[in-house]
């Protein structure tokens, strides 16, 4: 195979010869051989660090440095036990960091895999969808608007083809492309006979041959290495991360102050003061918080992916939970997108067509009587022209019929097969010379075909009312046509649409045999309307349920469709949209000013015959009411609306790369129900983030306060610093992380969406920290002094106080799990498996530290009685009740205020 840098300056035939390929593409064996020889079509990626290196990197952090210094100081002071405990804290901290990083990495890798690019190629004489990585030099590739170009491609055939080359040339305006060769010295931006990897197709269609892959593409040459280090984070987590850093500095200074007060003012000895300060330092800093929050996100990302929603931009995982309006496409999202022709209307007859799905078996009925299609010239002509003006391919595999291409066209191809026209033969006899591709803006498609017998025709198919308007005549039979009776056709189109059918019209025109190209001017006169076809597309049953769920979660649903008003209304009613009376069409929207649109947008749930441009105006109008808008889209023109929406959601199956790149989410199943699942998951993630923070901060504050209060008031420490280190260490790895796996609240889809700008560290949380810290301090000091008063040893009293602290943290966790629930049942309080496992670990750890002689020696603890543990449990129950009482009061007042 020849190599060249000048593919743009060679003729098409020369290029094909050089890359040893043909217009019909390669065979799969040849592809395999080339893959082996040249490698996959993938840019070189940065090498991943080994697990050991990643683990060691966890030690590169300020907190760890301080702790390591403390370990050195305690070792020098010959307090080896303290040294070991501090090193234990360091190790545990590194382990949490490591787990977090792995989780995050796995989540990101899975996303990347699911978002892999695909190309349509010609192999083994048939069109196939293949992964980008399997493209080889010589592959024949088909490109349509919104696709990403995946290799360097010499164009072989173009139809109004233009490409957005900004990533390569910096030029933001799309450039026109053609097959004509250009000068060898042309710069990248002027090589109009080429499509380069990394660019996006802006309009039209093309066929081309791959001439360079992977690092040998122009993109590969400039970028050299694709660095793809993405971190799993959101604004909220970043905010907490920053908060934790500031807090560390603050606590470091504060600890120094406490040390000075303890040593100089209160007269503690150096070691005692130093250890108290280290204990305070570790206790006060929420060191595990950023890591646990990232784990919460990773769990959320993975759960969403499992439910068919891939997060492309992580901040959106926070936003999606607060969505208050979902704007959804109809076809394929709310409906199944499995179309079938069910009606045909000619100039004097109204037929029904039977069948199921894409299986080409079915009959034609007129007034309930079966019709012999073979003897019905009009229906036969309709079937033939439908086939010529469609690109979809019908396939049978294991007795099941599927289509490749648009379902609308798939339905027409199936219909043609039912009428005895087979795609390959018919398309062979009537070769296509040129076409005007379908665009949702003009809503039709046209082709120019000629037969061997010298017959040349233009066929147009598209939205009924548009084709009716474009036509001058109507088809009577092969020889006759008459002036079009528009009123009749419009009436019939309305009738079909009111039953929820998508109505297309087909028209044709004979042209001279030497006509080789087709443009819009050719459709201006002389078109003959052949017939109307009505396509059914059943709603998705799960979408009906999902819409109900949205309403209960105070989320509005708007259907935005390119389809006809009546079709949209009928479908809207079937799927249970709240307001199907006021429908706005694209034409209506155009007549309204932005202010007028804002006034009507809230009371309209159906927008029909819209173009992607209208979507942008609708998003803006909704946002003017402070709505948080989720918007779906698939086409290249949907990109601006997807970008503008608070959450852009692209269709994974039918969506273009351009739409995906402008979106925060990609749905792998194009299903409306998956959006609602993502909202639910988004709410869960946010709840869990809030729960993790609401549990961690008061826990740290209470542990630190025990030391601060003791030093400031010159009291005997009720828990020694080393015991605090222990408590902090075991609860942070267990209880903190358990909350990341919390199930959703039972009322999660019954609550109103959260205000997007609600700060997490709000007054409520600060109050919660103060309240919990006060309760904990009373309990810990109370237990300590109670034991001391009853004549117990200080070790015994401290063991009691330590256990009170740790068990209260468990009870606090059980309280946090139902942070948002007013009507609490016992079953809600009893936790999930992860929480119970965490609780069991802590329980046994506490038993160990209380009773095992070796640990008693290390931590200076003493064995407690069963009675003590019953009292600790009781204390936990009382604190839980006090927390719950406060919450009940607070939530009920808030609810009353909301209702008022």
Which residues contact ligand ATP (rule: CB under 6 A)?
A: 329-331, 406, 408-409, 438, 440, 443-445, 461-463, 502, 504, 561-563
Helix extents (H) in 456-485? 464-470
CB-nearer residue toward ligand ATP: 564 or 691: 564
Residue among 202, 210, 172, 204 nearest 189 (CA): 172
Residue 857 near residue 789, CB atoms below 8 Å: no
Which pairing describes strands 325-328 and 140-143: parallel, antiparallel, or unpaired?
unpaired
Minimum separation from the CB atom of position 240 to ligand ATP (A):
39
Minimum separation from the CB atom of position 441 to ligand ATP (A):
8
Q: Dump strand ranges (E) for 398-492.
A: 400-404, 430-436, 444-451, 456-463, 473-475, 481-483
Other CB atoms within 10 Å distance of the CB of residue 418 = 21
CB-nearer residue toward ligand ATP: 329 or 588: 329
Q: Which residue is nearest to ligand ATP (CB)?
A: 562
CA–CA separation, 412 vs 578, rounded Å? 33
Minimum separation from the CB atom of position 93 to ligand ATP (A):
50
Q: What sign for the dihedral angle of Cα 97, 100, 106, 109?
A: negative
CB-nearer residue toward ligand ATP: 589 or 792: 589
Cβ-Cβ contacts under 8 Å for 234 (sequence gap 6 or more): 297, 314, 315, 317, 318
Minimum separation from the CB atom of position 409 to ligand ATP (A):
5
Other CB atoms within 10 Å distance of the CB of residue 610 = 24
**What angle (nearest 5°) sits at the alpha carbon of residue 452, between those of residues 451 and 455?**
45
CB-nearer residue toward ligand ATP: 334 or 622: 334
Residue 547 near residue 576, CB atoms below 8 Å: yes
3-state class (DSSP) for residue 436: strand
Q: Which residue among the candidates 329, 537, 563, 868 is catalytic per the annotation?
A: 329
Residue 427 near residue 441, CB atoms below 8 Å: no
Minimum separation from the CB atom of position 396 to ligand ATP (A):
22
Minimum separation from the CB atom of position 336 to ligand ATP (A):
12
Minimum separation from the CB atom of position 392 to ligand ATP (A):
8
CA–CA separation, 143 vs 145, rounded Å? 7
CB-nearer residue toward ligand ATP: 318 or 439: 439
Integer angstrom CA distances of residue 41 from 67, 154, 167, 212: 48, 16, 18, 9
Minimum separation from the CB atom of position 563 to ligand ATP (A):
4
CB-nearer residue toward ligand ATP: 544 or 855: 544
CB-nearer residue toward ligand ATP: 177 or 443: 443
**What angle (nearest 5°) sits at the alpha carbon of residue 19, between those of residues 13 and 22?**
55
Minimum separation from the CB atom of position 565 to ligand ATP (A):
11
477 a catalytic residue:
no
Residue 674 near residue 667, CB atoms below 8 Å: yes
CB-nearer residue toward ligand ATP: 101 or 329: 329
For 84-108, the DSSP string reads HHHHHHHHHHHHHHHHHHHHHHHHH
**Within 13 A of 763's CA, how many CA atoms are on the CB side?**
1
Residue 154 near residue 139, CB atoms below 8 Å: no
* Token representation of residue 283: 């206790």
CB-nearer residue toward ligand ATP: 586 or 876: 586
Burial 666-684 (b: 16+ CB within 10 A, else e): bbbbbbbbbbbbbbbbbbb
**What angle (nearest 5°) sits at the alpha carbon of residue 180, between those of residues 179 and 183?**
130
CB-nearer residue toward ligand ATP: 290 or 407: 407
457 has which bridge partners?
A: 449, 510
Minimum separation from the CB atom of position 562 to ligand ATP (A):
2
Residue among 511, 524, 526, 521 nearest 472 (CA): 526
Cβ-Cβ contacts under 8 Å for 671 (sequence gap 6 or more): 308, 333, 540, 542, 543
Residue among 444, 443, 463 nearest 534 (CA): 463
Minimum separation from the CB atom of position 5 to ligand ATP (A):
39
Residue count (the chain): 900
**What angle (nearest 5°) sits at the alpha carbon of residue 581, between those of residues 577 and 586?**
90
CB-nearer residue toward ligand ATP: 121 or 504: 504
Active site residues: 329
């Amino acid at each position: 195979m020849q190599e060249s840098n000048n593919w743009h300056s060679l003729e098409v035939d020369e290029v094909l010869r050089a890359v040893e390929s043909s217009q019909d593409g390669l065979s799969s064996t040849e592809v395999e051989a080339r893959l082996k020889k040249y490698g996959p079509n993938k840019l070189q990626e940065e090498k991943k660090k080994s697990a050991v290196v990643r683990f060691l990197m966890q030690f590169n952090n300020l907190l760890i440095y301080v702790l390591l210094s403390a370990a050195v100081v305690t070792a020098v002071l010959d307090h080896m036990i303290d040294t070991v405990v501090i090193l234990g804290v360091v190790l545990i901290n590194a382990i949490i960091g490591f787990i977090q990083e792995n989780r995050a990495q796995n989540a990101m890798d899975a996303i990347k895999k699911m978002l892999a690019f695909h190309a349509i190629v010609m192999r083994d004489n048939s069109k196939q969808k293949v992964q980008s990585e399997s493209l080889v030099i010589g592959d024949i590739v088909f490109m349509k608007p919104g696709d990403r170009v995946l290799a360097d491609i010499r164009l072989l055939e173009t139809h109004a083809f233009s490409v957005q080359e900004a990533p390569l040339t910096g030029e933001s305006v799309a450039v026109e492309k053609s097959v004509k060769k250009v000068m060898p010295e042309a710069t990248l931006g002027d090589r109009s006979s080429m499509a380069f990897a990394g660019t996006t197709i802006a309009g039209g269609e093309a066929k081309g041959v791959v001439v360079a892959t992977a690092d040998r593409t122009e993109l590969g040459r400039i970028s050299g290495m694709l660095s793809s280090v993405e971190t799993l984070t959101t604004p909220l987590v970043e905010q907490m991360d920053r908060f934790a850093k500031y807090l560390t500095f603050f606590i470091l200074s504060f600890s120094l102050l406490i040390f000075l007060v303890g040593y100089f003012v209160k007269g503690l000895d150096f070691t005692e003061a130093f250890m108290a300060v280290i204990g305070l330092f570790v206790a006060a800093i929420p060191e595990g918080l950023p890591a646990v929050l990232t784990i919460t996100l990773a769990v959320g990302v993975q759960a969403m992916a499992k439910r068919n929603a891939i997060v492309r931009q992580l901040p959106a995982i926070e936003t999606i939970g607060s969505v208050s309006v979902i704007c959804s496409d109809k076809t394929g999202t709310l409906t199944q997108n499995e179309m079938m022709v069910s009606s045909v209307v000619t100039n004097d007859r109204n037929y029904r067509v039977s069948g199921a799905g894409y299986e080409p078996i079915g009959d034609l009925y007129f007034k309930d009587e079966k019709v012999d299609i073979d003897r019905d010239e009009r229906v036969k002509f309709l079937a033939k022209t439908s086939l010529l003006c469609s690109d979809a391919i019908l396939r049978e595999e294991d007795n099941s019929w599927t289509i490749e291409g648009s379902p609308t066209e798939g339905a027409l191809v199936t219909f043609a097969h039912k009428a005895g026209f087979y795609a390959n033969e018919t398309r062979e006899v009537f070769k296509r010379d040129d076409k005007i591709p379908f665009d949702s803006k003009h809503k039709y498609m046209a082709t120019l075909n000629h037969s061997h017998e010298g017959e040349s025709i233009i066929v147009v198919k598209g939205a009924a009312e548009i084709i009716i308007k474009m036509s001058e005549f109507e088809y009577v039979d092969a020889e006759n046509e008459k002036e079009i009776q528009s009123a009749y056709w419009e009436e019939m189109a309305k009738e079909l649409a009111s039953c929820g059918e998508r109505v297309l019209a087909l028209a044709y025109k004979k042209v001279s045999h030497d006509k080789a190209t087709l443009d819009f001017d050719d459709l201006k006169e002389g078109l003959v309307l052949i017939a109307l076809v009505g396509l059914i597309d059943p709603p998705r049953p799960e979408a009906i349920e999902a819409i109900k769920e949205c309403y209960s979660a105070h989320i509005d649903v708007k259907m935005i469709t390119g389809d006809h008003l009546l079709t949209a209304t009928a479908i809207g009613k079937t799927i249970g949209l709240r307001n199907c009376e006021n429908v706005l069409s694209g034409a209506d929207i155009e007549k309204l000013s932005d202010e007028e649109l804002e006034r009507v947008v809230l009371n309209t749930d159906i927008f029909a015959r819209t173009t992607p441009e209208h979507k942008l105006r609708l998003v803006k109008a909704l946002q003017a009411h402070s709505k948080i808008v989720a918007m779906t889209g698939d086409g290249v023109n949907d990109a601006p609306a997807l970008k503008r929406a608070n959450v852009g959601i692209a269709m994974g199956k039918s969506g273009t790369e351009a739409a995906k790149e402008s979106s925060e989410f990609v749905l792998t199943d194009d299903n409306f129900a998956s959006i609602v699942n993502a909202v639910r998951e988004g709410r869960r993630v946010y709840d869990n983030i809030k729960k993790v923070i609401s549990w961690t901060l008061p826990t740290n504050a209470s542990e630190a306060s025990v030391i601060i209060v003791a030093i400031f008031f010159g009291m005997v420490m009720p828990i020694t610093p080393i015991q605090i280190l222990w408590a902090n260490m075991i609860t942070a790895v267990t209880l903190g992380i358990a909350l990341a796996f919390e199930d959703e609240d039972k009322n999660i889809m019954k609550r109103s969406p959260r205000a997007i700008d609600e700060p997490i560290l709000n007054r409520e949380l600060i109050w919660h920290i103060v309240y919990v810290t006060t309760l904990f301090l009373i309990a810990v000091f109370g237990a300590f002094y109670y034991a001391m008063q009853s004549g117990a040893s200080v070790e015994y009293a401290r063991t009691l106080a330590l256990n009170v602290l740790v068990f209260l943290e468990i009870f606090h966790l059980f309280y946090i799990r139902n942070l948002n629930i007013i009507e609490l049942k016992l079953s809600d309080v009893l936790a999930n498996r992860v929480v119970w496992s965490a609780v069991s670990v802590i329980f046994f750890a506490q038993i160990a530290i209380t009773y095992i002689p070796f640990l008693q020696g290390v931590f200076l603890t003493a064995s407690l009685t069963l009675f003590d543990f019953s009292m600790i449990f009781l204390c936990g129950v009382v604190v839980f009740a006090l927390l719950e009482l406060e919450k009940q009061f607070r939530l009920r007042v808030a609810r009353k205020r909301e209702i008022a």
